C-alpha cells in the first residue's frame, strides 16, 4: 500500500513534467540541460549558479584553459557554462565511460565494466589530446594513487594503483573493475603511460585502443582478426561494413578462408562476400601479428576479469597452428587455395578508390601512402578520414542530444561541429560543447 502510494506520486511527477515542459524555456533550464546531458546528473543550486556565473564572467577549466563567456544566450556563454559540467567528475565516470563502453565489447553492451580501452579514451579526452591518437598512439591510462594535476604528465610506467584496487595487469581487467566499483574519480586519478611499458609490447606495436587488452579480448579472440577491423569501423566510422560494400575493388587480397562458392553457389560470393572482403581483407592485414592469448579452460567471460588472457603481439609472421599468430590468417586455407596467403602484417587500402572515396581519406593532407605495415599506420589511415571525425561527433551529438541527427538541419550541424572538431585539434570536448549548444536551441526541440 505504501509502495503503491509512492509509485503514484512518482507517476504523477511524469504527468506534471509533461505538461510543464511545454512552458517557456528559461536560461536556467538550458544550464540544467547542459549539465544533465554532459555530466549526466542533476545540478544542484550551487552548480547552476556557477554555470550562470561562467556564462557571463567566464570560466577557467580544470585543464587551466579560460573560456571567457559572453552575453547571456551567446555561444560563448554556453561554452563557458558547458565546461563547468565537463569538469564534473561524472562527465568522465558516467557520461564518457558509458559512451565508450559499447565500443569495447562485441555485444556492444553499455553495461560493460571499465577497462583499458574506455579508460584510455576517457584519459585522452580529459587531457585534451588529439583524438586521432586513439587509433595510433602508444598510450594507455591506468588508475593511479595520486591526483593528476599536470595533464601533460606521461609516466614511464603505470603508477601505483589507487588505494584498495588491484594493480594494473596485462592479463586481467581487475584493476579497472575495482576502480569502477569504488567509484574512483577518473578525472583526478587516471594516469597516462605507454602500452609498451604496461602491456609489454614493442612501442611500434601499439596502436591506441586497437591494442588494448579489452579490444584484444573482444576482437582478437580466436577467429581471423577481421573482427578488429569491423568493429573499429563500426565504432569509429559509425557504419557497419555493409555500408561500405564495394565488390568492384580488386579481389587479390581476399584470404584463402573465404569460400568463393558458399554452399556451391558462387553468386553469394560475387554479390555479397566480395563486397566487404575485397576492402576489408586488404586493410585487416595490419593485425596479422596480434592475438588474444588466453587459457581456454578459463571462461573468457568470467565475471570480475578472472581469466588470464593477454593482448599478445609477435613480430614476424608465424604460421604455426596453435602457437603462431599468423595461423589465424591461414585457417581453412583449402577453402580457396588461390586466395591471398598472408605472409606479413602489410595492409593496403583499396577503398581509397571507388564509392568509398567518400570516406574522405587523408583529409589532413599528410600524404598518407594508403598502405603500410602494422596496426598503427592503419590507425593513422583510418583516423585521418572525414568519416572518423564525423563519427566521433555523431556519437557525442547522440550522447548530448539523446538522438541521432534526424534531418538536414541536424546533419548540417554535425558537419559544422565536425569541422570545428578537426580544426580544434581533434579535442573531443569541443564536440560536447558544440552539441550542447545546438541542442539547447528551440529548433532542435521536437
Partner 1 sequence: MFFTKLTIRNIRTALLYIAVAFTLAACGGGDKTTGGVPSGGGGLTGAQFGCGSLDPAPATSDINAFCNEFWSQSNLQNNCATCHSDTASNPQEPLFVRSDNINQAYAEVLQPANSDPSKDIVDVNNPSQSYIIDQMLSGHHCWATPQVCADIVLTYIENWVGSSAGSSRTIQLTAPANSQPPGGGKEFPANATDSTDPSDPNITFEQIIYTPLLRQYCQDCHESGPGDPLFAGPDLTNSYILSQPRMNLDDPASSRYAIKLMTHTVACWNVDINDFHPDMQTEAMTRLTGDNCSDSSLAFELAIKRYAQFITSNAVDPSQFLISDATTIPDGIVAAGGARYEPNQIALYEFKSGQGSIAYDTSGAGTALDLSLNGGTIEWVGGWGIAINGQGDRAQSSSTNTKLYDLIQATGEYSVEAWVAPNNVTQENARIINYSGGGGDKNFALSQTMYNYNSQVRNANTDLMGEPPVSTLDADEVLQATLQHVVNTYDPVNGRQIYVNGELVASGDLQAGGSINNWSSTYSLVLGDERGANNDNNLWKGVIKMVSIHNRALNINQIQQNFTAGVGEKFFLLFDISHIQGVPAQSYIKFTVSQFDNYSYLFTDPTYVNLDLGVTSVNIPIRSMRIGVNSNQAPVGQAYYNLDTTITANNQLLSTIGTTVAAESGADQDEFYLIFEALGSESRNYAEPTYDPKPQSDLAPASAIGLRTFDEINATMSAMTGVSTQAVKSRYALVKQQLPADANINTFVTAHNIGLTQLAVEYCDVLVNDAAGGNTGTLFGNYDFSQPASAAFVNNTAKALIIDPLLEAANGYGMDAQMNTGNTFNEGGTVPDASGDTFTTKSELIYLIDNLCGGAGNCGATAAQTRLITKAVCTATIASANTLIQ
Q: Which of residues 220-249 bind partner 1 (CB under 8 A)?
A: 243, 247-248
For residue 87, give every residue at least 6 positions away whose Cβ sits within 8 Å of its Cβ, in sequence order, or none. 61, 62, 187
- Binding residue for partner 1, selected from 264, 297, 365, 367, defined by CB under 8 A: 264
Cα–Cα distance between 167 and 183 in angstroms, integer? 16
CB of 44 to partner 1, least distance (A): 7
48 binds partner 1 (CB under 8 A): yes
Query: How many other C-beta atoms can be found within 10 angstroms of the C-beta atom of residue 203?
Result: 11
40 binds partner 1 (CB under 8 A): yes
CB of 232 to partner 1, least distance (A): 20
Cα–Cα distance between 305 and 119 in angstroms, integer? 16
106 binds partner 1 (CB under 8 A): no
Binning the chain into helix, strand and coil, the percentages to the nearest 5 are 50, 10, 40
- Binding residue for partner 1, selected from 343, 357, 366, 412, defined by CB under 8 A: 357
For residue 61, give every residue at least 6 positions away whose Cβ sits within 8 Å of its Cβ, in sequence order, or none. 67, 83, 86, 87
Helix (H, G, I), strand (E, B) or coil at 347: strand
- Binding residue for partner 1, selected from 354, 373, 415, 419, defined by CB under 8 A: 354
- Binding residue for partner 1, selected from 107, 110, 147, 298, defined by CB under 8 A: 110
Query: How many other C-beta atoms can be found within 10 angstroms of the C-beta atom of residue 332?
Result: 13
**CA 306 distance to own-chain centroid:** 24
By CB under 8 A, how many residues form the interface with partner 1? 92
203 binds partner 1 (CB under 8 A): no
Cα angle vertex 156, ends 154, 161, to 5°? 85
Q: Which region among 20-28, 151-159, 202-210, 376-384 touches partner 1 (by CB under 8 A)?
A: 20-28
Q: Which region among 154-162, 213-221, 388-396, 398-406 touches partner 1 (by CB under 8 A)?
A: 398-406
267 binds partner 1 (CB under 8 A): yes
Residue bearing cell 552548480: 47
**Smaller CB distance to partner 1: residue 5 or 149?**
5
Residue 193 is inside which H or E element, if any? strand 190-193
Site for partner 1 in 402-431 (CB under 8 A): 402-408, 411
Query: How many other C-beta atoms can be found within 10 angstroms of the C-beta atom of residue 333?
Result: 15
Q: Which region among 12-20, 58-66, 210-218, 287-295 touches partner 1 (by CB under 8 A)?
A: 12-20
269 binds partner 1 (CB under 8 A): yes
- Binding residue for partner 1, selected from 53, 60, 94, 373, defined by CB under 8 A: 94
317 binds partner 1 (CB under 8 A): no
343 binds partner 1 (CB under 8 A): no
**8-state DSSP, 89:** H
Amino acid at each position: 500500500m505504501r509502495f503503491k502510494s509512492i509509485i503514484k506520486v512518482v507517476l504523477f511527477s511524469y504527468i506534471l513534467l509533461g505538461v510543464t515542459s511545454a512552458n517557456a524555456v528559461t536560461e536556467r533550464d538550458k544550464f540544467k540541460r547542459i549539465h544533465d546531458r554532459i555530466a549526466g546528473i542533476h545540478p544542484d543550486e550551487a552548480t547552476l549558479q556557477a554555470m550562470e556565473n561562467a556564462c557571463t564572467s567566464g570560466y577557467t577549466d580544470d585543464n587551466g584553459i579560460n573560456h571567457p563567456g559572453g552575453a547571456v544566450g551567446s555561444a560563448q556563454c554556453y561554452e563557458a557554462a558547458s565546461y563547468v559540467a565537463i569538469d564534473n567528475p561524472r562527465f568522465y565516470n558516467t557520461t564518457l565511460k558509458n559512451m565508450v563502453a559499447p565500443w569495447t565489447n562485441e555485444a556492444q553492451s553499455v553495461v560493460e565494466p571499465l577497462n583499458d580501452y574506455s579508460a584510455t579514451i576517457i584519459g585522452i579526452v580529459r587531457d585534451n589530446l588529439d583524438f586521432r591518437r586513439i587509433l595510433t598512439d602508444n598510450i594507455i591510462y591506468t588508475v593511479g594513487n595520486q591526483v593528476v594535476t599536470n595533464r601533460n604528465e606521461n609516466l614511464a610506467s603505470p603508477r601505483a594503483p589507487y588505494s584498495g584496487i588491484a594493480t594494473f595487469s596485462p592479463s586481467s581487467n581487475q584493476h579497472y573493475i575495482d576502480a569502477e566499483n569504488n567509484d574512483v574519480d577518473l578525472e583526478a586519478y587516471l594516469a597516462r603511460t605507454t602500452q609498451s611499458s604496461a602491456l609489454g609490447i614493442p612501442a611500434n606495436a601499439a596502436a591506441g585502443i586497437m591494442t588494448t587488452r579489452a579490444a584484444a579480448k573482444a576482437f582478437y579472440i580466436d577467429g581471423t582478426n577481421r573482427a578488429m577491423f569491423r568493429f573499429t569501423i563500426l565504432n569509429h566510422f559509425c557504419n557497419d561494413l555493409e555500408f561500405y560494400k564495394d565488390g568492384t575493388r580488386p579481389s587479390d587480397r581476399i584470404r584463402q578462408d573465404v569460400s568463393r562458392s558458399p554452399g556451391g553457389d558462387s553468386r553469394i560470393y560475387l554479390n555479397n562476400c566480395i563486397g566487404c572482403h575485397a576492402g576489408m581483407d586488404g586493410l585487416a592485414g595490419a593485425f596479422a601479428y596480434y592475438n588474444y592469448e588466453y587459457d581456454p579452460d578459463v571462461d573468457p567471460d568470467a565475471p570480475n576479469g578472472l581469466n588470464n588472457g593477454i593482448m599478445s603481439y609477435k613480430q614476424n609472421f608465424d604460421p604455426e597452428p596453435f602457437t603462431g599468430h599468423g595461423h589465424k590468417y591461414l585457417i581453412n586455407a583449402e577453402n580457396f587455395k588461390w586466395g591471398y596467403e598472408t605472409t606479413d602484417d602489410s595492409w593496403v587500402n583499396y577503398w581509397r578508390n571507388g564509392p568509398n572515396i567518400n570516406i574522405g581519406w587523408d583529409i589532413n593532407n599528410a600524404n598518407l601512402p594508403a598502405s603500410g605495415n602494422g596496426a598503427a599506420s592503419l590507425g593513422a589511415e583510418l583516423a585521418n578520414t572525414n568519416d572518423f571525425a564525423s563519427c566521433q561527433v555523431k556519437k557525442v551529438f547522440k550522447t548530448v542530444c539523446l538522438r541521432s541527427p534526424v534531418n538536414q538541419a541536424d546533419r548540417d550541424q554535425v558537419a559544422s561541429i565536425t569541422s570545428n572538431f578537426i580544426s580544434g585539434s581533434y579535442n573531443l570536448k569541443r564536440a560536447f560543447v558544440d552539441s550542447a549548444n545546438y541542442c539547447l536551441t528551440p529548433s532542435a526541440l521536437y
